[in-house]
Every structure is written in structure tokens, then in C-alpha cells.
Amino acid sequence: MKQIAILVSGSGTNAQKIIEHFANSEKANISVVISDNREAYALTRAQNLGIEALALTRADFRSGARPLAELRKRDIDLVILAGFLSLVPKCLIEAYPDRIINIHPALLPKFGGKGMYGDHVHRAVIEAGKSESGITIHTIDEHFDRGTIIAQYTTPVSSDDTPESLATKIHALEHAHFPHTIESYIDKITAMDNQKRLLLISNSTTAGEPYLKYPIGNIAQFLQGVKEVAFVPYAAVTFSYDAYEAKVQERFDEIGIKVRSIHRDADPAATIRQAEAICVGGGNTFALLKKMHEQGVVEAIRERVEAGVPYVGWSAGSNVCCPTICTTNDMPIVQPASFGAVSAVKFQINPHYLDTHPEGHAGETREQRILEYIEANDGMWVAGLREGCMLLVESGRMELIGARPMRMFRKGTETFEVNPGDDLSFLL
């Protein structure tokens, strides 16, 4: 069941309709209503309907850290903007790519942007002499009233309409169509989540063994039927992309799969969008993500993963599948445009996780560093994925493969171990 948060600024009639629509749903649960306005009547509506109501400040939303923490603590899957007037901060958009939905009281793209809300937008439609107006339900990006349009519904504009009378027509459209459009979108993202196919490997090489020797059998089974993979070599720093491609190809020759490195193509993102499978190699995570952002590969991989295209990543390649790369072990030798990554999973991975503390070493252990991360990132799970282990995601399930347990961290939860065969649904 998907967990939903509704963000509001005003009276909350749309929020109420959404809460009522999902009251007995087996698909989704309204977990919390959050406002940037402590006086918003929407908070009272939520409480009256038995839903948690939380008042934050506009300063909180400008920063983004507090609302993101509140969403993570509640394991939110989908965020609905129902009359929310603040600009959604970048960190929320990165944490919930294509998982934040807004409703706009006019037909985009023309009647959108800053200041286009309430009577202002209805007056603009009337003054433009339009014969119809409507609502637009869309995902969001960093700009007001942008993103992918999910659905639009229209109503006639009469010659004698005023901003107030047009607002009444628009509210009727919102109440009639917003809840069921959300439900349809939930069906879509649930289907995408269920068709994700990921093999996230802690490390490429076991000490004393050849490169990729230990996981190649799992890779072969996972990529059964695949003839060619698009390979992302951008984590290579002290050796060339050509050399990296050749190194991976040597191992993949054993399983009859051709490796095509995307650095050879003029449009690497287009190569990803046409690939039958994707592999992302280890190395320096910061170098990897920087180049992925520059080439538009982050979004391309996210789209393909959601379409069910198999993804294999090892070390840094596992890191970039997470919401961010903040739990990498690597030195930040370059600065990516953002730490935001593919978000193919909802949790963070620390590959190469180690329990040992070398004798005479006075620095932090791996566990201490992860504890620092979860202190600053309330609500986020971190999986300490030990070497020789991997996570398999298929058919809406996750499985730990390997001979060693995985160590789990989350603020407010006592650190614990999960073993191969244990239920990992809490991470999905």
C-alpha cells in the first residue's frame, strides 16, 4: 500500500475529497497532511477525519530539510500538492522524482507560473477571452506549474463569467477528477515498481580472485536472454573508459553478452533509452555521478528502470541507484551538479560495508560514519552491504544474496542485521 502525504496552504477542500476517496482504499493510505501555514483550515479538516496534521513554516520549506525528514519518517511514497502555494524545494523534488503531483486551476502551459493562483488565474483566463478553462494535474519540477501533464479536464467559460463564478466551475472539476486521477497514477507507479529489475552488488572483486569472477554467475542468470548491455564507465578515474569497457567485456565474454560503453556515443542518454539492459561499474562515485548528470544519464536510467529494463550495478554503480550518493565511501574528487541520483530504490546503500577497525587507527568506523548520516537524515534507511553480497529486486520483491548478513541503520531504530531469506519488504 502506498503512503501519501498531502501538502496544503489554505482551506483544504481538495485535501478533504482526497482523504475521503482513499478512506477505505487497499491501494493507498493518507498518512499526513502538512501545511506551510499554521492557520490553514485544511489542518482542522484533516484532524476531523482522523488524519495526522502537521504545521511547518515557509522557512522550513525554503530549506527543505525539515519537510523531507517528516516525509521520510512516515515512509511516504507519493506527495500531493492540494492548494500548496510555496515552491517545493529542490531536495524534495530529487527525493521524489515523478512522485509529487500538483493540481493547477487552469489549462497549462499558458496560464501558469508564479502568481497564477486563485482569482488571479481565473481573471487572466477571462481577460484573454478564452472560451474554456479547466484544471491540469501534473508532476512538478523546480519551477512553478511545470512538469509532465498527467491529465486535463475542461469547462466552458461563459461571456458573463466572473473570476468568482469561474472558480466555482473549476472547484467542481477538481473535486470530481483529482482523487480518481491520483488513484490512476498510483496504479501506474505501483506497476512500475513491480516491474523494476535490479541487481545491486556490493563489490566487483573478492580478494585473490579475478575481476567480477564471484558475481558473474548471478549476473548471467539476471541477464538471461540479453545480448547487449549499455555500460556506464564514468566511475573510472586512473584508467580510460576504453580500458574499462575492455575489462568488463573480458568477463562478459564468458556469458555471451556484448558490452557497449556509452562513452563512445554522441548522445549517451539516447543509448540508455534504447538499451535492452544497463550496467554501471564501480570506481569513484563522485566522478560517476558528475558525468551522469552532465550527459542526462540519471533521468534516462530512471526512465528505463521504471520501464522494467534490467539494471546491474556494482560498488559505485549500486550507490547511484539510491536517492543520493551520500553513503558512498569515496573521496569527493569532483563536484557533481547534485548528490541526487537515480532513486531506483528508496533507501541508501553503503557498499563494501566493513565491521573491522584496523588496529592503531584512530578515525571513525564505517558504522560511526553511517550513524552520522542518519542523524542528519532522519527517516532514511541505510543498508550496510558487506562484500560478497548483493540485492536482487524483481517482481516487487527484494532478496539479499550472499553468505553474510546486511546491517540496517535508521535514526530512532536500534541497528540490526538481516540475513538472506529475511523479509525486506520494509525497504520497498
pLDDT-derived band at 356 (thresholds 50, 70, 90) equals confident
What fold does the segment set 2-193 form as a domain? Rossmann fold (3.40.50)
- Strand ranges inside 36-98, DSSP E: 52-55, 78-81
Amino acid 111: pLDDT: 87
Q: Are 328 and 337 in contact (CB under 8 A)?
A: no
Mean pLDDT, all residues of the chain: 94
Residue 399 has pLDDT above 80, yes or no: yes
CA distances from 363 to 226, 242, 331 (A): 44, 37, 15
Amino acid 114: pLDDT: 78
Residue 145 has pLDDT above 80, yes or no: no
Distance between CA atoms of residues 152 and 163, nearest Å: 20
> To the nearest whole percent, how much of the chain has pLDDT over 90?
86
pTM of the shown model? 0.86
pLDDT-derived band at 142 (thresholds 50, 70, 90) equals confident
Distance between CA atoms of residues 284 and 261, nearest Å: 17
Nearest one of 99, 105, 65, 71 to 85, comparing CA atoms? 105
How large is the angle between the packed helices 13-21 and 163-195, nearest 10 degrees? 40
More confident call, 116 vs 415: 415
Active site residue 352: yes
Q: Are 95 and 71 in contact (CB under 8 A)?
A: yes
Distance between CA atoms of residues 417 and 367, nearest Å: 13
CA distances from 278 to 256, 310, 373 (A): 15, 6, 29
Amino acid 360: pLDDT: 75
pLDDT-derived band at 93 (thresholds 50, 70, 90) equals very high
Distance between CA atoms of residues 106 and 84, nearest Å: 15
Find the catalytic residue in 21, 293, 352, 357. Answer: 352
Amino acid 358: pLDDT: 72
pLDDT-derived band at 359 (thresholds 50, 70, 90) equals confident
Secondary structure letter of residue 75 according to DSSP: T
Find the catalytic residue in 35, 204, 315, 318. Answer: 315
Residue 266 has pLDDT above 80, yes or no: yes
CA distances from 153 to 132, 169, 173, 276, 332 (A): 10, 11, 7, 36, 48
Decide if domain 196-427 falls under CATH 3.40.50.720: no
Mean pLDDT lowest among 79-83, 117-121, 141-145, 351-355: 141-145
Active site residue 253: no
What number is the average pLDDT over the span 60-88? Answer: 93
Find the catalytic residue in 86, 161, 330, 343. Answer: 330
Supply φ then ψ for residue 332, to 5 degrees. Answer: -75, 80
Domain boundaries along the sequence of the chain? 2-193, 196-427
Nearest one of 338, 406, 409 to 369, comparing CA atoms? 409
What is residue 213's three-state secondary structure? coil
Amino acid 251: pLDDT: 97
Distance between CA atoms of residues 10 and 83, nearest Å: 6
Distance between CA atoms of residues 180 and 182, nearest Å: 5
Residue 137 has pLDDT above 80, yes or no: yes
Q: Are 209 and 51 in contact (CB under 8 A)?
A: no
Residue 146 has pLDDT above 90, yes or no: no
Distance between CA atoms of residues 38 and 40, nearest Å: 6
Distance between CA atoms of residues 321 and 198, nearest Å: 9
| H helix intervals, 228-356 | 241-252, 268-274, 285-294, 297-306, 316-319
Amino acid 389: pLDDT: 96
Active site residue 120: no
pLDDT-derived band at 376 (thresholds 50, 70, 90) equals very high
How large is the angle between the packed helices 41-48 and 13-21, nearest 10 degrees? 20
pLDDT-derived band at 309 (thresholds 50, 70, 90) equals very high
pLDDT-derived band at 43 (thresholds 50, 70, 90) equals very high
Residue 147 has pLDDT above 90, yes or no: no
Place of cell 488571479: 120
Amino acid 156: pLDDT: 95
- Cis omega (within 30 of 0) for bond into 332: no
Residue 364 has pLDDT above 90, yes or no: no
CA distances from 260 to 48, 227, 247, 250, 415 (A): 58, 11, 12, 12, 41
